[in-house]
Structure 1
Amino acid sequence: MDDDQQMPDLETPLISDSQEKGIELKGLFSKDDILAEAKKQLWLAGPLMFVNLLLTLIQTISVMFVGHVGELALSGASMATSFASVTGFSLLIGLCGALDTFCGQAYGAKQYHMVGIHTQRAMFVLLLVCIPLACLWANTGHILAFFGQDPEISAEAGVYALYMIPTIFPYALLQCQFKFLQTQNIVIPMILTSGVTTLLHIPTCWTLVSKLGLGNKGAALANAISYWINDLFLALYVKYSPSCKSSWTGFSKEAFKDVSRFLSIAVPSAIMICLEIWSFELMVLLAGLLPNPVIEASVLSISLNTNTMVYMLPLGLGCAISVRVANELGAGRPLAAGLAVWVAVVMVAFESIMVAAIMILGRRIWGYCFSSEERVVKYVADMMLLLAVTHLLDGTQSVLNGIARGCGWQKIGAIINLGAYYLIGIPLGVFLAFVHHMGGKGLWTGIIAAVFSQTMFLLIATVRANWQAEAKKASARVLDSQIASHQSP
């Protein structure tokens, strides 16, 4: 699984230190520089798109198996999965976003051993966070019933969430392993282990759900088994691959030092991610309060799933630019970081336009993938126009979010998301849906307003960025981490 011979030379500076000043005087980059940067980003983005998709498929496959158990079991599993995503998985992903900054910049600065130290520190923090999350999941049924959900569905969701608890710990470790590898530009092992795990997940689900007769409990346990398998594969790769020899030197007590510095970026990163994810889930819940809630909730759920699926494409680019910016800033090459930013923005613009055009052209047939009822298909066709507009903005903000993580702007991102979604998007969506009676279209228009605001604010921050100053901040962050890791507790 060693990809050193196949990948572009990502460690070699795209623009050498001696060239930085010359380029600044010229005010432009050569065509070769731009093509080389695009190649590096695509090499990272392509596999990361598939890794994100495969990771999502694990839980989707489990819910599909539960669907053959019965309608009540399916409703409970779907609700439990959504609850787990909102209360647990999104929080872990957000906290782990701090590694984009710490590991990426440390690797760029060639402080390879610190990449492993930061990762171990994240593992320690995330595993601690998993303990209260496990307690929360153990009471899922009571919590859902308290908020007025159907008692039978709540009880089923409670059982599924209870058996999902063993999943949260390997999921936390897996997120840390992914960041550890991708910030070092090692992506092929991730896609191979994720692919094998996803294939193995199907017979695992069948064995537990059907063969052993565990039903929805077996499907929930299958998630944990698959994530642990993926963890094991990646742990073996990290331990024995020469690619990780310098960055992983074994577990160290240094990981327990300077936790507060990690939390200073991890907490805003979690807030930044959670505020965005929660707003989309809130819109689906609000759809249930509209007149004709069955069709409104169904169509909005279809819209959300469609938006999530196409979002995997720019998400890969967002992860790639996060790595590139952090690496270049950590290496003290601000002009190369600036080039990486604008190459990513141009590429995601082309991607967004193409995908939006496909969504518009296929809007009249997409609904048939989910329903044969004409009113649902027609409603989905109308929503696809709004989804196309959303993707034009969502793709750009994904890349801008990646830039923010690479620079360490998580606090800025958290403030922007709070304002964009909860001061602009959700109030506008509620006003249009319930006061102007626009229904689900009104709610989604609020989402578009939120994403537009988020994109504009992040774009302003990016355009105004002083890359020389950001490189100095990165160097200071790496130096401070080194000093702190060698101090006595």
Structure 2
Amino acid sequence: MSTEHRKLPHTEAAASKDDDEIEDIAGLKKWPTVFQLLDEIKELGKIAGPVATMNFVVYLRSMVSVLCLGRLGGLQLAGGALSLGFTNITGYSVLFGLASGMDPVCGQAFGSKNWTLIGLTLQRTILILLAACIPISMLWINLETLLLTLGQDKSITSVAGTFCLFSLPDLLANSILQPLRVYLRSQGITTPMMWCSALAVLIHVPLNIVLVFVLNMGVPGVAIAAVWTNFNMVFFLVSYMWFSGVYRRTWVPWSSACLQEWCSLLSLALPSCFAVCLEWWWYEIMTLLAGYLPKPEVAVATTAILIQTTSLMYCFPLALSSSVSTRVGNELGANRPGRARIAVFVTLACAFLIAFINVIWTTIFRHKWGRLFTTDQHVLSLTAAAMPLMGLCELGNCPQTTGCGVLRGSARPATGARINLGSFYFVGTPVAVAMAFWWGIGFEGLWYGLLCAQTACAISVLFVVLRTDWAYEALRARQLTGGADLFKLVEMYEPSSGKTAAVAAAGSAAAAMLDEDEEAGLLQNEEKASQMYLQQSV
């Protein structure tokens, strides 16, 4: 590489950009100003608002399916609900979790303007999800056999098997849909996703009516309508990308490159998947435990109502989690760790605000909410008793869900997975079993277990997030995306801790390497410096 190529252009724009980054690094030692907070609220709202609306619309789609199953009869509702639980555990949670591995790569690549990496990550993730569909489809095909082996009712199992079989194409739809959502969100393109989802769900209602009741397809009609709606979402998103041209900057032709670097992507995707599945599966375990309580039909029915309500409330912290993952990834990739830190503060404040709102409304409407779902007085009474506990759980759920988004955006999903494992299975499960069965508290004991799990999870996640060294994470982002501003970062940050001292030491070593090896190339030296830095910081 020639000397002329390696010199940075000393233009006013470049100088201004350097000054902004120096100011941002210096801001790590200061409290954010009111104007910075307001600016971040505006940026967060641009992403979180449409994403929350999209989540709510998708929730309505599942509610329409459940309502149609209920209109077909009790057997159809029971079989469909059993199938939905099974497909969530074995399929949708896995695909959603694997797709979440794109968050840090695409978010940070967008911030560092590494457009090619964004396109390649999309292609690789789609292929990974399609590969994951093979074993998942084998489970779905054999659902009826598996459930009969476990001693489930034959008639309910037959309905569940039918629903699951007709839902198989949905694996293909989700293998494309989930990566597309992360791909667009990482670039701040969220409003079109909201409208595409709304249009698909708007069609979903008449589609169910025609297939289920006009054509008398019954349970298969409900499954086909759900699959059709997801393919409509894919079609609308791809059409938007094609006609708007937003794909041009990041798209790369399909080639053998999409079959490479799977290990590095899987190192993020698998922990993300593990973290998602651990939490989703715990709710299914709680439903199973409710079936062993006295009057199991009342306990299970109440659990179904409360989990549906929790899913509704989850739309908003999930939107915050997705948004902060994008914001943190973008700012770290752009070498602005100070702004990433501000994004975390603002989003956590919003999470606590939403949590308190949930506590208030679940307490005020605890005697009325259950009437939207049933008229059974026993179920209504148990629902009213448990709803305040469910609201208290949100005090942990909202901040921990948001905090997990921070961990994803900063490429630390394995930390989130370990916290979820310890909180839900080593804290929540023993407490739930002990209080519900050993101490005789009953149904409310299960929710006390969830409260303990969410509290432990929130405390652990917040402890990790609030102790984050953002300069260190910015350097990791440069390594992940192959950025070329490593030297700028290590020179701008004044060391004040062990890790940041290692950053400074790596910067000095990097400068020495440039002097000694004029023709080695900036990118190669940056990689060496990154490795030296990581070794010193361990």
Same fold flag (TM > 0.5): yes
Report the CA distance between 1:376 and its aligned residue: 2.4
Query: Superposed, which structure 2 residues align to 1:320-359 within 5 Å?
Result: 320-359=323-362
What is the match of residue 487 of structure 1?
Answer: none
User: Do the aligned partners of 1:322 and 1:402 also contact (CA within 8 Å) in 2?
Assistant: yes
Report the CA distance between 1:70 and its aligned residue: 2.5
What is the match of residue 428 of structure 1?
Answer: 431
- What is the alpha-carbon distance in structure 1 between the residues aligned to residue 252 and residue 319 of structure 2? 29
- What is the alpha-carbon distance in structure 2 between the residues aligned to residue 371 and residue 201 of structure 1? 24
User: Do the aligned partners of 2:170 and 2:227 also contact (CA within 8 Å) in 1?
Assistant: yes
> Per the alignment, in what secondary structure is the counterpart of residue 28 of structure 1?
coil
User: Do the aligned partners of 1:421 and 1:451 also contact (CA within 8 Å) in 2?
Assistant: yes
Report the CA distance between 1:22 and its aligned residue: 4.1
- In structure 1, which of residues 125, 131, 135 is the aligned counterpart of residue 128 of structure 2? 125
- In structure 2, which of residues 232, 236, 241 is the aligned counterpart of residue 238 of structure 1? 241
List per-residue Cα deviations over 1:318-347 (Å, max 9, x = no partner): 111010001011111111111111111111
Moved more, 282-291 or 368-377: 368-377
User: Do the aligned partners of 1:271 and 1:414 also contact (CA within 8 Å) in 2?
Assistant: yes
What is the match of residue 209 of structure 1?
Answer: 212
- In structure 2, which of residues 56, 59, 63 is the aligned counterpart of residue 56 of structure 1? 59
- What is the alpha-carbon distance in structure 1 between the residues aligned to residue 34 and residue 360 of structure 2? 28
- What is the alpha-carbon distance in structure 1 between the residues aligned to residue 483 and residue 78 of structure 2? 50
- In structure 2, which of residues 185, 188, 191 is the aligned counterpart of residue 185 of structure 1? 188
Query: Superposed, which structure 2 residues align to 1:331-410 within 5 Å?
Result: 331-410=334-413
- What is the alpha-carbon distance in structure 2 between the residues aligned to residue 71 and residue 286 of structure 1? 22
- 1:20 and 2:20 matched: no
- What is the alpha-carbon distance in structure 2 between the residues aligned to residue 69 and residue 368 of structure 1? 21
Report the CA distance between 1:159 and its aligned residue: 0.8
What is the match of residue 506 of structure 2?
Answer: none
Q: How many residues are matched?
A: 470
- 1:477 and 2:480 matched: yes
List per-residue Cα deviations over 1:17-58 (Å, max 9, x = no partner): 142244345x12221111000111122111111212222333
Residue type matched to 2:470 in 1? W
Pairwise CA RMSD? 1.9
CA spacing shift, 1:450–1:153, aligned 2, 3 Å = same
Residue type matched to 1:176 in 2? P
Moved more, 395-404 or 46-55: 46-55
- What is the alpha-carbon distance in structure 1 between the residues aligned to residue 20 and residue 305 of structure 2? 48
> Per the alignment, in what secondary structure is the counterpart of residue 374 of structure 2?
coil
- What is the alpha-carbon distance in structure 1 between the residues aligned to residue 436 and residue 343 of structure 2? 40
- What is the alpha-carbon distance in structure 1 between the residues aligned to residue 482 and residue 243 of structure 2? 29
What is the match of residue 9 of structure 1?
Answer: none
- In structure 1, which of residues 405, 410, 414 is the aligned counterpart of residue 417 of structure 2? 414
What is the match of residue 151 of structure 1?
Answer: 154
Residue type matched to 2:177 in 1? L
User: Do the aligned partners of 1:238 and 1:248 also contact (CA within 8 Å) in 2?
Assistant: no
Residue type matched to 2:175 in 1? A
> Per the alignment, in what secondary structure is the counterpart of residue 72 of structure 2?
coil
- In structure 2, which of residues 292, 301, 308 is the aligned counterpart of residue 298 of structure 1? 301
List per-residue Cα deviations over 1:294-337 (Å, max 9, x = no partner): 11111122111111111211111111101000101111111111
- 1:461 and 2:477 matched: no
Percent identical: 31
What is the match of residue 447 of structure 1?
Answer: 450
Report the CA distance between 1:248 and its aligned residue: 2.2
- What is the alpha-carbon distance in structure 1 between the residues aligned to residue 386 and residue 279 of structure 2? 20
- In structure 1, which of residues 246, 251, 255 is the aligned counterpart of residue 254 of structure 2? 251
- 1:65 and 2:88 matched: no
CA spacing shift, 1:188–1:89, aligned 2, 3 Å = same
- What is the alpha-carbon distance in structure 1 between the residues aligned to residue 351 and residue 164 of structure 2? 37
- What is the alpha-carbon distance in structure 1 between the residues aligned to residue 67 and residue 357 of structure 2? 31
> Per the alignment, in what secondary structure is the counterpart of residue 270 of structure 1?
helix
What is the match of residue 45 of structure 1?
Answer: 48
- What is the alpha-carbon distance in structure 2 between the residues aligned to residue 129 and residue 81 of structure 1? 19
List per-residue Cα deviations over 1:170-198 (Å, max 9, x = no partner): 01210011000000000011011100100
Q: Which runs of 5+ in 2 are unaligned?
A: 1-15, 485-522, 525-538
- What is the alpha-carbon distance in structure 2 between the residues aligned to residue 410 and residue 21 of structure 1? 25
User: Do the aligned partners of 1:59 and 1:81 also contact (CA within 8 Å) in 2?
Assistant: no
- What is the alpha-carbon distance in structure 2 between the residues aligned to residue 119 and residue 316 of structure 1? 21
List per-residue Cα deviations over 1:124-146 (Å, max 9, x = no partner): 00011111111110111111222
User: Do the aligned partners of 2:344 and 2:406 also contact (CA within 8 Å) in 1?
Assistant: yes
- What is the alpha-carbon distance in structure 2 between the residues aligned to residue 437 and residue 126 of structure 1? 44
Q: Which runs of 5+ in 1 are unaligned?
A: 1-11, 484-489
Moved more, 225-234 or 251-260: 251-260
- What is the alpha-carbon distance in structure 1 between the residues aligned to residue 59 and residue 45 of structure 2? 21
- What is the alpha-carbon distance in structure 1 between the residues aligned to residue 302 and residue 373 of structure 2? 9
Residue type matched to 1:145 in 2? L
- What is the alpha-carbon distance in structure 1 between the residues aligned to residue 175 and residue 147 of structure 2? 24
What is the match of residue 166 of structure 1?
Answer: 169
User: Do the aligned partners of 1:239 and 1:248 also contact (CA within 8 Å) in 2?
Assistant: no
Residue type matched to 2:341 in 1? G
- What is the alpha-carbon distance in structure 1 between the residues aligned to residue 31 and residue 433 of structure 2? 46
User: Do the aligned partners of 2:120 and 2:252 also contact (CA within 8 Å) in 1?
Assistant: no
What is the match of residue 3 of structure 2?
Answer: none
- 1:312 and 2:315 matched: yes
- What is the alpha-carbon distance in structure 1 between the residues aligned to residue 429 and residue 329 of structure 2? 32
Report the CA distance between 1:61 and its aligned residue: 1.8
Residue type matched to 2:169 in 1? P
User: Do the aligned partners of 2:424 and 2:453 also contact (CA within 8 Å) in 1?
Assistant: yes
- 1:137 and 2:127 matched: no
> Per the alignment, in what secondary structure is the counterpart of residue 229 of structure 1?
helix
User: Do the aligned partners of 2:416 and 2:461 also contact (CA within 8 Å) in 1?
Assistant: yes
Which structure has the greater CA radius of gyration?
A: 2
- What is the alpha-carbon distance in structure 2 between the residues aligned to residue 36 and residue 311 of structure 1? 26
CA spacing shift, 1:264–1:376, aligned 2, 3 Å = same
- What is the alpha-carbon distance in structure 2 between the residues aligned to residue 436 and residue 341 of structure 1? 40
User: Do the aligned partners of 2:299 and 2:379 also contact (CA within 8 Å) in 1?
Assistant: no
Residue type matched to 1:397 in 2? Q
Residue type matched to 1:211 in 2? V
- In structure 2, which of residues 271, 274, 283 is the aligned counterpart of residue 271 of structure 1? 274
Residue type matched to 2:21 in 1? D
- What is the alpha-carbon distance in structure 2 between the residues aligned to residue 325 and residue 70 of structure 1? 47
What is the match of residue 98 of structure 2?
Answer: 95
- What is the alpha-carbon distance in structure 2 between the residues aligned to residue 313 and residue 149 of structure 1? 35
Report the CA distance between 1:366 and its aligned residue: 1.3
Residue type matched to 2:222 in 1? A
Q: TM-score, normalised by structure 2?
A: 0.84
Report the CA distance between 1:63 and its aligned residue: 3.0
